[in-house]
Structure 1
Amino acid sequence: MKFTNGFWRIRDGVQIAYATEVRDVRTEAKRFTTHAAVQRVTRRGDTLNAPLISAECFSPAEGVIGVRLTHHSGKRRKGPEFTVAGVEGGAGEVRTVDGVTELTSGPLTLRLDRAAPFTLSFRDAEGRELTQAGAKGAAFATTDQGEHHMVGKLALGVGEQVYGLGERFTPFVKNGQVVDMWQADGGTSSEQAYKNIPFYLSSRGYGVFVNHPGKVSFEVGSESVGQVQFSVEDQTLEYYVVAGPTSKDVLARYTGLTGRPALPPAWSFGLWLTTSFTTSYDEATVMSFVDGMSDRGIPLSVFHFDCFWMREYQWCDFEWDPDVFPDPAGMLARLKAKGLRISAWINPYIAQKSPLFDEAAELGHLVRRANGDVWQWDLWQAGMGLVDFTSPEACAWFQSKLKPLLDQGVDCFKTDFGERIPTDVVWHDGSDPERMHNYYTELYNRTVFELLEKERGQGEAVLFARSATAGGQQYPVHWGGDCWSSFEAMAESLRGGLSLSLSGFGFWSHDIGGFEGTPDASVFKRWLAFGLLSSHSRLHGSSSYRVPWEFGDEAVEVARRFTLLKHRLMPYLYGVGVEAHRTGVPSMRPMLLEFPGDPACRPLDRQYLLGADLLVAPVFSEDGEVEVYLPEGTWTQLLTGETVTGPVWRTERHGYDSLPLYVREGAVLPLSADDQRPDGDWLDGLTLLVHPTAEPGYARTVTVPHQDGTTAATFRVRRDGDTLSVTAEGGDRPFTVQVAGGASATGTGEVSVPLT
């Protein structure tokens, strides 16, 4: 939200007061509070009829410093609140020398000079200023309409770039944009977002998390071109500056505060196929799809039933449509006999025609208006109500309706929607409706995820979720929402996914081929390669099927090629997933995460790294022409063995069975011998594909995980002169060492391969 009219003036109808002069500083061992006047105080009379802005400064965890700006502190906080982890009693240490108060937490220091105009300076371990809340950096604004906003501003350095703020489909670098945190079902081609995360990452090696679940308005170098401004309609604004020094360090610390992603089960990394949305289908249709994939040699891991598995006008009653699926338990058993997992679509809305509506209303499990009426509307489902997940009893009731599906054989749920949440309602726990609008999805996805963990066991729970807010990364997987079936929408989807990855989300997917409309064969085939080189891969559409043979024989070949490739890559990909689970560093990584010192990588949003070592550049054209940037080092095309030395920009042309897929110099890729499933025995016939550097001291360590995330085997790779030696620790089965473009050898324990 903008408050000024250019640099000099304030907007009509707005009054704004800036923290100007420090009046006192109260210190404790691990925190301090300062009170700032909003004008210069030259005499005692200036302290009358004038407000103060309080700034509480503290550290919840090492490397993180929080600032809580308050005008009037008496407002009752109705919630909800983000869950923020931290050290009991706080971290950091406060000291004051010569009127300068500093709070230091790990590599981050906040500095306040009492003698200077009000300024909060954030500095790294070397004393370099990362950012500051300087002149006009803390304020409150009121309007003639009675609104009260708290405002924070942090400086942007020359050339500094800002990323994140959720799954945003607008330009990847957020500088110059106005970004409002407000959940909306806006598709992938607008400024609206399904996943609004009030956290941004700076190219200078720090991040900022605004700890407010309601509407946070960001002006990213827009209202004031040299600052990021964030404001909330409230009396208090709390934000955390998160230290690096690297972007990976920032994400690790941020997800340490808001929650690390759960590790999805290995089977979920395989190919998912759906009924699509409004298409006509029954068990015969489903079986024809499943058998058609098998007959064409395309391994399938999950089959998903979209909305119309239930009766029309009755979403959600969690009952199979008996006219279409008269024997659901038998059908699921028949699908499982083919080795498939089952996913079912749900949403948190209860249609009036559903028998569950009256039940939920009578039990008080639906959100109500202030007069006690159940909140209803006809958008999406006729007369639908909204489950009130602020009520523990409503959560348990909702879970009780899902459990019979799990007993039938359903393995996971697509938790659709969660964005269209009204603000003219009363919540069971008294939550502020404005704050609950964004936060609702956290309660919805958590309720379903916890049921899956309870019934299927930890490590087996997985969602396909559309909406999220800060903390939602704990309940993977999330997909990119409703996109068109075009190359432009394909690029939009990738841009949104990379933005989400820099917002703390470790796993992400999208609708291969696009959701709305029907893709032409060229779009579908190009999207297949991209989709099967994402952390999770799903074929899904709206009004048309997405089975590959609908798009020609070549599409079948492309689907088969990249599905088999993904299965072979699973020991590597699952290791990347384990890293995301343990550290918060995402599976699909914008180039800047791995190459922060290369300025050419900072704006790149049409290529990414899958883990640390595999560079993917999807092709967004029918003719196969694609630009790709390779940073410094030697890169090897995984599909052809061609080597390229960077840094270099390349324009390449690829057939539908190919794309730029480069392995980083020094990488060791563990490859499965089993290309038929994602969750096979990875140590059975394992190959280590080694891309050694030329340095004599080359050494790498790579682990192959068990499917619970623990380590199954560790391989230590080293160069001894003209020989590559690999030692295995754990696991006593034979493995093969393949030097890229060179010799190979197989053995147990220790294997040596000549490099020349």
Structure 2
Amino acid sequence: MRFRDGQWLVAEGMRVEYAEEVYRITETPSGKGLSLLCPTRKIMTRGDVLNLATISIDIEPAFDGCLSVSTTHWQGAVQRGPDFDLFPAGQPDVPSQVAKSEKGTTISAGSLSATISSKPHEFDISFHSTDNKKQLTTLLNRSIGFAYSPATSNPMQTADMRNLKHYIFTQTTLGVGESVHGLGERFGAFNKVGQKVDLWNSDGGTSSDQAYKNISFWMSSKGYGIFIDTPERVELEIGSERCCRVQTSVEGQRLKWYIIYGPSPREILQKYSILTGKPGNVPSWSFGLWLSTSFTTSYDENTVNSFLDGMKARDIPVEVFHFDCFWLKAFQWCDFVFDDDMFPDPKGQIARLKANGTVKKVCVWTNPYLGQASPVFAEAVAKGYLLKRKNGDIFQWDMWQTGMGIVDFTNPAACDWFVSCLEKLFDIGVDCIKTDFGERIPSEDVQWFDPAVDPKKMHNFYAFIYNKLVYETLQKRFGANEAVLFARTATAGTQRFPLTWGGDCESTPEAMAESIRGGLSLGLSGFSFWSVDIGGFEGYPEPWIYKRWVAFGLLCSHSRLHGSNSYRVPWTVDNDDASAEGCSATLAAWTHLKARLMPYLFSQAQEAVKNGIPLSLRAMCIEFPDDPTAWTLDRQFMVGDSLLVAPIFEETGTVEFYLPKGRWTNFFTGEAKSGPAWFTETHTFATLPLYVRENTLLVLGKPGEKRTVYDYVKDVEVRSYFAVDGARASLVDSTGKEVGTLQVKDGQLSGKEVLMGNYVITVASE
């Protein structure tokens, strides 16, 4: 939302008022913070306080390194939910420290402070490290205010607000060269400076400015992050209205955000996870290859068997088989009942799949909508399970499913019904759930079962309650660390219910690059686990694109083959090319490599959850925050702490990538290179730039290992890459429990007593 026309003029149709000075500072009602009374004109005489709006700004410590900033115009406005579920593990204690000096009044929360300037008739609030070594950002003149649209000319007009929109906004300063990242799974430019971003969940694909997963958190290259504490629509002008400021605005009377001081990206994300929750754990089996039927393809039990038998014959292990939409009867999505014409014996079919060893787990597609052609639609209407319009009608439209209704998760009975449907699926052998959709939730002309909720806030927040319900149902059935979703929509806090995938992308190299940018941005928004439709969702991928996408997709934390109107089994892509360069051989090779990487991947997954950081895709700036180039890299990523991956987008196999400072070793050839430097390489389909960071102890499964779940300390290979004293590798079992640590001490490798069987230790050489 833009409130100005250039630097000098107010935008047409807007009336804007700003906090012009800090007139008075008092304690907040909690007694822990400072409340600033800020009039919208400078107070020079006693008469200036009349017929005047003021803005209240409350600054309070949240925990060490985090302050909250609440801005309010009219404090009598009703505060409707839903609200984000903050501090799910409890809020840490932090003493409030307030000090006064010639410069002003300073409030501190451990390592982070805010100083309100003491200069008369001035508005200046600076955020900085408590030791004053790091200046972060500032609220300067005309940086906090509110606006009316259409513009009012007389205060009496605000007696009737029914036809007036009221916005409140803040503008934090952007420093020279500062970049902004995150804000969910965004597919545009990695650095958000210069962009207008609306945080409003939408089903817009991967080639637009819309996003399935809008997360109201962003990170600055200057060492801080900002979390905007509301699930309603938030509009950001990131150096796009005023080039030197990030403007945040909402329609309403209040705006609250938290500023988090790192200073490193790791610390920022770790502290952000205190606010909104740490990512949930995922089981080791979920890291294996997932194979989908694809979306609009026709399939039955014979089709499924042919896929799995074909994969087995080509030496491609499949861990999870996914039944996409048409496991359900047409027009009846989603009533949780297998189409008996195509699947007369779903329980028996699933049992047979698992018994013959072609697959270990089964997933099915669901969504929170119900087509009126389903026999259960009338029951759901009668029992009040569906969202209503204000006149009492069921909210229906013909988007997606004919006469579709939306499950109202503010109704406890509707939640119980939805859970009962899931449990029936578990009873027949389903192990995990793809929670599709949840973005197109109406915000106008709707009445929720809970009358206290704000429909505009419910639009984004629906993703949280939808995925939370399914995830916790899975946990109850299978165990706390055995639950897995495959979700498309998310909001802040949804990282607690893994995992998510990147939505509908085209089968092009450009779309693969878009997906990578989306995964990187989501990782910088607190999500540890992420996947993508390997080969692209829309269209028919060329064999070379499919194979390059396979290499990228098997180095994401989770890996799924999925398409729209065409299958993604490899032999359908290249007419069953049986050569070493064919799609089948390429998929087999990368699936086997991921299996070998499991001791490293699953150990790193535990650290990712603990610290609230991405496993893969991990942006380079997380590992190399002091390298300015790392903040610009959007075509490569880290997998955990030690592996660098640069996907290939050219049919020729040529790729340009960057290695930060230090020695890096090619995983495949053992060749070492030194950074910081850019490199260009050309690769076959069996390789890509996969480089191991120096000072790494990399634990791998034995050569030829093809399983996802096995003993991660037995018959392993330990590779030492220029490891010096202090280098370490945590060893975990297939449940994620730490069983030991390898560490270099006095030039020797300690902790080997945990290793079992015929383990091998190799040392990289110059």
The alignment status of 1:560 with 2:588, answered yes or no, reads yes
Q: Which amino acid aligns with 2:515?
A: S
Match of 2:449 among 408, 412, 428: 428
Q: Conserved in 2, the CA contact under 8 Å of 1:119 and 1:137?
A: no
Which string of whole-angstrom CA distances, capped at 9 and with x for unpartnered residues, describes residues 562-602 of structure 1? 10100110011111111111110111211111111111111
Match of 2:701 among 652, 672, 685: 672
Structure 2 distance, partners of 1:638, 1:562, is: 13
Q: Conserved in 2, the CA contact under 8 Å of 1:346 and 1:415?
A: yes
Which string of whole-angstrom CA distances, capped at 9 and with x for unpartnered residues, describes residues 272-293 of structure 1? 0010011111101101111111
The alignment status of 1:728 with 2:752, answered yes or no, reads yes
**Any residues of structure 2 matched to 1:54-453 within 5 Å, and which?**
54-85=56-87, 87=91, 91-98=95-102, 100-116=104-120, 117-127=122-132, 128-144=134-150, 146-337=164-355, 338=357, 339-423=359-443, 424-430=445-451, 431-453=453-475
Q: Conserved in 2, the CA contact under 8 Å of 1:570 and 1:671?
A: yes
CA distance 1:101–1:708, change in 2 (3 Å)? farther
Q: Conserved in 1, the CA contact under 8 Å of 2:20 and 2:39?
A: yes
Which string of whole-angstrom CA distances, capped at 9 and with x for unpartnered residues, describes residues 384-434 of structure 1? 100001122211110111101001110000000000101120111121111
Match of 1:628 among 640, 650, 657: 657
The alignment status of 1:512 with 2:534, answered yes or no, reads yes
Secondary structure, aligned partner of 2:505: coil
Structure 2 distance, partners of 1:402, 1:120, is: 51
Q: Conserved in 1, the CA contact under 8 Å of 2:102 and 2:118?
A: no
Which string of whole-angstrom CA distances, capped at 9 and with x for unpartnered residues, describes residues 413-472 of structure 1? 000000010112011112111111111111100010010000011110000000000001
TM-score in terms of structure 2 length = 0.94
Q: Which amino acid aligns with 2:722?
A: P
Secondary structure, aligned partner of 1:12: coil
Q: Show the counterpart of 1:753.
A: none
The alignment status of 1:474 with 2:496, answered yes or no, reads yes
Q: Which amino acid aligns with 1:156?
A: L
Secondary structure, aligned partner of 2:23: strand
Structure 2 distance, partners of 1:369, 1:684, is: 60
The alignment status of 1:718 with 2:745, answered yes or no, reads yes
Deviates more, 1:79-88 or 1:364-373: 79-88
Shift of residue 166 of structure 1? 0.7
Structure 2 distance, partners of 1:355, 1:90, is: 55
Q: Show the counterpart of 1:689.
A: 719
CA distance 1:728–1:183, change in 2 (3 Å)? same
Q: Conserved in 1, the CA contact under 8 Å of 2:233 and 2:250?
A: yes
Which string of whole-angstrom CA distances, capped at 9 and with x for unpartnered residues, describes residues 284-318 of structure 1? 11011111111111111000000000000000110
**Any residues of structure 2 matched to 1:587-666 within 5 Å, and which?**
587-588=615-616, 589-666=618-695
Which string of whole-angstrom CA distances, capped at 9 and with x for unpartnered residues, describes residues 356-385 of structure 1? 211111111100011111000011001010
Deviates more, 1:126-135 or 1:256-265: 126-135
CA distance 1:123–1:363, change in 2 (3 Å)? same
CA distance 1:91–1:376, change in 2 (3 Å)? farther
Q: Which amino acid aligns with 1:558?
A: T
Q: Show the counterpart of 2:509.
A: 487
Q: Show the counterpart of 1:11.
A: 11
Q: Which amino acid aligns with 2:296?
A: T
Shift of residue 22 of structure 1? 1.2
Structure 2 distance, partners of 1:83, 1:115, is: 39
Q: Conserved in 1, the CA contact under 8 Å of 2:535 and 2:568?
A: yes
Q: Conserved in 2, the CA contact under 8 Å of 1:30 and 1:94?
A: no
CA distance 1:519–1:187, change in 2 (3 Å)? same
Q: Which amino acid aligns with 1:72?
A: W
Structure 1 distance, partners of 2:391, 2:135, is: 53
Secondary structure, aligned partner of 2:309: helix
Secondary structure, aligned partner of 2:520: helix
Q: Conserved in 1, the CA contact under 8 Å of 2:713 and 2:754?
A: no
TM-score in terms of structure 1 length = 0.96
Shift of residue 90 of structure 1? 5.7
Q: Show the counterpart of 1:750.
A: none
Q: Which amino acid aligns with 1:37?
A: P
Shift of residue 143 of structure 1? 1.0
Q: Conserved in 2, the CA contact under 8 Å of 1:109 and 1:122?
A: yes
CA distance 1:168–1:408, change in 2 (3 Å)? same
Q: Conserved in 2, the CA contact under 8 Å of 1:714 and 1:729?
A: no
CA RMSD of aligned residues (A): 1.4
Structure 1 distance, partners of 2:304, 2:749, is: 50
Q: Conserved in 1, the CA contact under 8 Å of 2:196 and 2:240?
A: yes
**Any residues of structure 2 matched to 1:513-592 within 5 Å, and which?**
513-550=535-572, 551=574, 552-553=577-578, 554-588=582-616, 589-592=618-621
Structure 1 distance, partners of 2:91, 2:726, is: 36
Q: Which contiguous aligned blocks of 4+ residues in structure 1 show a shift greater than 6 angstroms?
A: none
Q: Conserved in 2, the CA contact under 8 Å of 1:30 and 1:103?
A: no
Shift of residue 138 of structure 1? 1.1
CA distance 1:635–1:90, change in 2 (3 Å)? closer
Structure 1 distance, partners of 2:314, 2:433, is: 27
Q: Which amino acid aligns with 1:428?
A: F
Unmatched 5+ residue regions in structure 2?
151-162
Secondary structure, aligned partner of 1:585: coil
Which string of whole-angstrom CA distances, capped at 9 and with x for unpartnered residues, describes residues 541-560 of structure 1? 00000001122331111101
Q: Conserved in 2, the CA contact under 8 Å of 1:27 and 1:94?
A: no
Structure 2 distance, partners of 1:168, 1:125, is: 33
The alignment status of 1:738 with 2:765, answered yes or no, reads no
Shift of residue 83 of structure 1? 1.2
Secondary structure, aligned partner of 1:228: strand
CA distance 1:91–1:564, change in 2 (3 Å)? farther
CA distance 1:719–1:520, change in 2 (3 Å)? farther
Structure 1 distance, partners of 2:96, 2:225, is: 18
